Chains A and B, each alone.
Chain A
Amino acid sequence: MFDVQAVRNDFPILSRLVNGKPLVYLDNAATSHKPRQVIDALVDYYERYNSNVHRGVHTLSVEATEHYEEARSKVARFINAPEPEHVIWVRNTTEAINLVAKTWAKANVHAGDEILVTEMEHHSNLVPWQQLAAEQGATLKFIALDDDYKLDLSDLDSLLTPKTRIVAITHMSNVLGTITPVEQLIEAAHRVGAVVLLDAAQSVPHLPIDVQKLGCDFLAFSGHKMLAPTGIGCLYVRGEMLDEIEPFLYGGEMVLAVTFETASWAPLPMRFEAGTPNIADAIGMGAAVDYLQALGMDNVRQHEVALTRYAVERFRELEEVTTFGTADIEMRGGVVSFYLDSVHPHDLGQVLDSHGIAIRTGHHCAMPLVRSRLHVPATARASFYLYNTESEVDALIDGLKATMDYFGNAARSRA
């Protein structure tokens, strides 16, 4: 049984006050909080076996290497990668996507080729492909959104052509919460010989993921959105692809043998991990994965579906508020983006903060989606995670009512 109160007790930050009020943290799509278990793993590393990996014969280095590689294995098991070597440590999702764009894609996308993305990509899965298309003379194509904020796949056959080299799509939109039908897209992409990269920054923290079942070629995600520290993330690469990719960064740790003139590359995955890696945070990510697995990702997902359903229901009370997102909660993550004509999202976020409520406001690093598809300059966004509760949703709704009151009264007082 999923016990949200027990979960909350594991997160020290949830007991702090903000502006004199209990913190209501609804900005999880930006970053998540860290349980005591993850914080302890970091402290344990620094206090007991801080050392560089893969080089010393001394005890600390051996222990550090064991923990570091064990963390990789944990993450591999978490997404059901066949081998730990298929998981490459990077800083974050953005770096993972850039790694693919600058290596595999640069070598395989040529003039006249096509890259397919969606209209709801985060800038991190859009700008690298814009750049690559410009450099290589390739064309960037977009899967549009339908009226229910889902992907419109009606003309997928004309979007996917033998010229399509790579399909780079979000698994879950950070603005809308839309979960994309990736199985269908991967199958269709493979049929025309394209490879598929999933931007899984929002999905791996919230959904059970099985990369072998999905069949994706690349899967990019960040630790910090899934209870792990900032500065650590992963790129999963399907085994058959690994040998096709040249190194991304060159230097120590990624080499096998070096002469004055030349060098040969280390085996996987170190070939992609030049320089001293982020050892502590990788170990922290292992602890985060342990924590999530102990709870069970199906339970995490169920908790968030129930919470999202409740939130969408409660938002209906607010007539002045427009929400963006599919009505199909089963195909939606724990995200509610909304807009109010009378109060700018930035001001809304400010007043909610005075009530201790943290939401995100702005374009959420998805400027084309927000401006050209939602047709608003910015939105406010509440995003949930495993420690959020219905009473926090209530606090948000009350806070929104108070905000509308505040701005309404301020206007009336002069009338």
Chain B
Amino acid sequence: MMPSPDLDDLYAEIILDHYKSPRNHHLLDSPALSAEGFNPFCGDRVVLNLALDDVGRIDAVGFEGEGCSISQASVSIMTGLLKDKTLEEASALNTTFREIMAGAEVTAVMEDELGELAALEGVKQFPVRIKCALLGWATLVDAIAEYRKAHD
């Protein structure tokens, strides 16, 4: 029989904190990038807005949405990490996070890069919930893809 995964690994304190007090929980007035993500399996929803400065760095992030603690905490943590990153750096962070959800060990280097996002590592013990954790990131990928399509 499978060992029972530990609930406290899923609902780390940082996650519940972000769920109850989400950061950057507002939409931007004139976002350069915007996308809506939806998880039809459980009805979770995220709208993500990004603004860029003159050199193309993310200088403001905002989101709105509804859903479970994992989906909303994950996007809240993500918004904090995106500030001052280029779109390339944001995409790289997305790749790293997806690797962890797919089972990669978190190295010390990664931990630096991930910050509070490392608290979501416990989600990978609950395969059904990985989609929840990735919702905000999938929305980010969509927003970047749309932006590039319009500007390339």
Contact = CB atoms under 8 A, between A and B. Distances in A.
- Between A345, A350, A361, the greatest number of chain B beta carbons within 10 A of the residue's beta carbon is seen for A350
Contacts of A375: none
Contact of A410 (B13, B68, B70): B13
A343 to B, nearest CB: 8
Interface string B22-43: 0000000000000000000111
B11 A410 contact: yes
Given A344-B68, A377-B67, A414 B13 contact: yes
B112 interface: no
Contact of A20 (B4, B7, B43, B132): B4
B7 A351 contact: yes
Most interface-central of B10, B16, B43 (chain A CB within 10 A): B43
A155 B115 CA distance: 59
Interface string A388-412: 0000000000000000001100110
A377 B66 CA distance: 8
A295 interface: no
Given A347-B69, A350-B126, A378-B43, A410 B16 contact: yes
Contacts of B16: 407, 410-411, 414
Could you tell me the dominant secondary structure of chain B's interface residues?
Answer: mixed
A362 B20 contact: no
Interface in A341-400: 344-347, 350-351, 354, 361-363, 367, 370-371, 377-378
A17 B1 contact: yes
Interface string A185-212: 0000000000000000000000000000
Interface in A60-78: none
Contacts of A350: 7, 10, 126, 129
Nearest to B1: A17
A344 B39 CA distance: 15
B99 interface: no
A344 B10 CA distance: 14
Contact of A377 (B7, B13, B43): B43
Interface string A228-254: 000000000000000000000000000
A311 B109 CA distance: 52
Nearest to B20: A411
Interface in B105-152: 126, 129, 132
Contact of B43 (A19, A367, A406, A413): A367
Contacts of A361: 42
B59 interface: no
B53 interface: no
A346 B1 contact: no
Given A347-B69, A363-B43, A19 B129 contact: no
Given A354-B4, A362-B42, A378-B43, A344 B11 contact: no
B17 interface: yes
Given A350-B7, A362-B43, A378-B43, A344 B69 contact: yes
A346 B132 contact: yes
Nearest to B15: A410
Contacts of A413: 13
A19 to B, nearest CB: 4
Interface string A65-98: 0000000000000000000000000000000000
Interface in A323-347: 344-347
B111 to A, nearest CB: 22
B2 to A, nearest CB: 9
A407 B66 CA distance: 18
B58 to A, nearest CB: 28
Nearest to A363: B43
Contacts of A347: 11, 68-70
Contact of B41 (A362, A407, A411): A362
Instruction: Among B7, B44, B126, B132, find the residue whose CB has the most chain A CB atoms closer than 10 A.
Output: B7
A175 B126 CA distance: 26
Interface in B36-89: 41-45, 66-70
A156 to B, nearest CB: 31
Interface string A2-28: 000000000000000101100000000
A264 to B, nearest CB: 43
B45 to A, nearest CB: 8
Interface of B: 1, 4, 7, 10-11, 13, 16-17, 20, 41-45, 66-70, 126, 129, 132
Given A346-B42, A414-B16, 17 more contacts: A346-B44, A347-B11, A347-B68, A350-B7, A351-B7, A354-B4, A362-B41, A363-B43, A367-B43, A377-B43, A377-B66, A406-B7, A406-B11, A410-B11, A410-B13, A410-B16, A411-B20
25 contacts: A17-B1, A19-B4, A20-B4, A344-B68, A346-B42, A346-B44, A346-B67, A346-B68, A347-B69, A347-B70, A350-B7, A350-B126, A350-B129, A354-B7, A361-B42, A363-B43, A370-B43, A371-B43, A377-B45, A377-B66, A378-B43, A406-B11, A410-B11, A411-B16, A414-B17
Kindly list the 8 A-B residue pairs having the minimum CB-CB distance in the complex, ordered from nearest. Answer: A346-B68, A19-B4, A344-B68, A410-B16, A378-B43, A377-B66, A362-B42, A363-B43
